Structure 1
Amino acid sequence: MFAGVLFALAAGLLWGLVFVAPLMLPEYPAAMLAAGRYLAFGLIALPLALMDRRELRALGRADWLEAFKLSAIGNFIYYLCLAAAIQRAGGPLPTVVIGTLPVVIAISSNIRDHARDGRLPWLRLLPSLALIAAGIACVNQVELAALAGSSAGDMRRYAQGAGLAVVAVACWTWYPIRNADWLRAHAERSPRAWATAQGLVTLPMALLAFALIALLQAMGLPLLESDFTLPLGPRPWAYMGLMLAVGLFASWIGTLCWNEASQRLPTTLVGQLIVFETLSALAYAFVLRGQAPQALTLAGIVLLVAGVIWALRIRPSRA
């Protein structure tokens, strides 16, 4: 239990990086960010695959198909929607929507996986979920007030960002539950090799995305601004460096830590520990802005942590 929580914490700290990357590269569209991140992830996975070649050879066709589906939905489509949401609505609104993941995943997994993991009593789970929801609301209250004062012309982009963030929530509600299914069904397999397998299948996806962007540009249906220079854009070194960092730390190492946590903890509790990602993203955003969090933000952090601790004290009852 303790090791699983530490792995989930590490994954959250690393995954928080993906929220600030679109803010650090605002001139790069979401398609370029998703393609760059997962191209880096796939290239990093190639030498790592040599370390796990025996484990990877043991994966069958169904396993590779599952890795492809997990990467396509939980990695590529999720980050495409998240990056687009952040660039359309700014950082706060997508953080509010994505911050509901602990509650959404906990409810989904408690309904779906109670026969395998045991059922967490709803009456005992509700206070934890309420604390997490209240904490997220407090952390984002100031930002939401600023969004309410936006002009009518900006509200359309905010609405688009909110819709894309909801799609991202749907992707990442599906991903950890489905990923935990495979890991729990293959407890003898290496979580590191499974993370590497997911990285390998993102490589052709990223290459296809770059080719599609270039093709659309050539056909006169551009996804990019007219002065955007393919393949690396106006700040190539910043783009390559940030994509490499996100690909290594957030994609491969973060996925590895999450896989380790998923093998050790019930899915319902793992879902609530995604709150660490929200906390990390908010902390990085404040550092990027050069602002200290307000009192209401600190109160929200306390509520979030209290909700996680409360959940960890609950033991599932077997069906």
Structure 2
Amino acid sequence: MAAGLCWGMIFSVPVLLPSYSPLALSAGRYLAFGLIVLLPAWLDRRRLAALGAADWKKALELALVGNLLYYCGIAFAAQHAGAPITAAIIGTLPVVIAISGNLVDKQVRWRRLALPLLLIGGGLALIHGREFGRAAVDTGGGDYLLGIAGALFALFCWTWYPLRNAAWIARRPQLSMTAWATAQGLATLPLALAAFVALAWLPDHDWPLGADPLRFVALMAALGLIASWLGTLFWNVASRALPATLSGQLIVFETLFGLAFAYALRSEWPDTASAVGIALLVAGVVVGVRACRPETP
């Protein structure tokens, strides 16, 4: 839930910075993330020094797909199709990851997953249906479809990331979750720095800090600290303690907080259909938690 709260803000920031490209937003966020983790990296240098070459290679792989590429897709989708519809599409992650995780480790019988997945899917369908019409009118058909493509790309990236991350953590029982979150931040830093330098060659970017430097720096720092470092730390703790089938469903809180921030940005409450959808999402998570408990012999 804490990770979902941290990640919920990622959908609204691109809307607050509409003149910045998705690459600029992704590079800025993860450059801030990489710089922020330098202090905890120094404090945790002994445990980081114990990481092997395979750990750093995996951290770099996870950072590229789960951080930079994922947020490029999110930023592109939010700017072209709107924050609520982007949050709704990414909100299918609980269903997608639960199914993918159960295909990998088969920890829960499918019949026990049927009801929670049905509730979550129904809730997402209501929210998605409500936002689909509004976003299509607000942004135009062409931009909206491009935004949907960006959201689907981000969906793929973050279906891949938690399963790979959880598998690596399971193979490293001695791995510190704080050190692993910091390692991913350090691995992101050279990638984000390269992307940030590449922005100098983009014709529509006022390099280095864009048209609104103070807002850009403030929001990137907030994303780097809250959404990236703290969110990764909370998620790593959850990945160790919970099966992928359950943690996949709990990602629904990213959608709930993302929608809350998006509606706050619009200065409005969700309509009846969206409110019912949100209620179904919460109900699905509650039922999912019960379904993923070990069965009594």
Question: 1:210-238, CA deviations, whole angstroms, 9 ceiling, x for partnerless residues?
Answer: 12121x33xxxx3x2xxx42111111111
Match of 2:259 in 1: 282
Contact 2:199 2:207 in 1 (8 A): no
- Residue of structure 2 equivalent to 1:199: 185
The alignment-based identity, stated in percent, is 51
Alignment deviations for residues 122-170 of structure 1 (CA, whole Å, 9 cap, x no partner): 112011001001111222332222245468xx21221111111111111
Q: Look up the equivalent residue of 2:35 and give its one-letter code.
A: L
Relative to the length of structure 1, the TM-score reads 0.89
**SS of corresponding position for 1:59:** coil
* More deviation, 179-188/255-264: 179-188
Match of 1:241 among 214, 218, 229: 218
2:54 aligned residue (62, 67, 70): 62
Aligned to 1:123: 111
1:34–1:76: 8 Å Cα contact kept in structure 2? yes
Aligned positions, number: 295
State the match for 1:50 in structure 2: 42
List per-residue Cα deviations over 1:6-64 (Å, max 9, x = no partner).
xxx00000001111110111111111100100000000011110121111111110100
Which of 2, 7, 17 aligns to 1:10? It is 2
CA contact (8 A) 1:100 1:133 kept: yes
Distance 2:192 2:40 in 1: 18
Q: Is 1:258–2:235 an aligned residue pair?
A: yes
Query: How far apart, CA to CA, are the structure 2 residues paired with 1:111 and 1:317?
Result: 19
Cα distance change on mapping 1:237 and 1:150 into 2, 3 Å: closer
Equivalent residue, structure 2, for 1:3: none
Most deviating of 181-190 and 142-151: 142-151
Matching residue's letter, 2:36: I
TM-score by length of 2: 0.95
Residue 95 of structure 1: which of 77, 87, 92 is its match? 87
Q: Is the 8 A contact 1:16 1:281 kept in 2?
A: yes
Deviation at 1:77, TM superposition (A): 0.3
Paired with 1:166 and 1:259, the residues of 2 have a C-alpha distance of 24
- The residue identity in structure 1 corresponding to 2:125 is A
Q: 1:255 to 1:183 in 2, by over 3 A?
A: same
Q: Is the 8 A contact 1:121 1:316 kept in 2?
A: no
Q: Is the 8 A contact 1:105 1:173 kept in 2?
A: yes
> 1:210 is matched by which residue type in structure 2?
F
Correspondence list, 1:147-166, <5 A: 147-149=135-137, 154-166=140-152
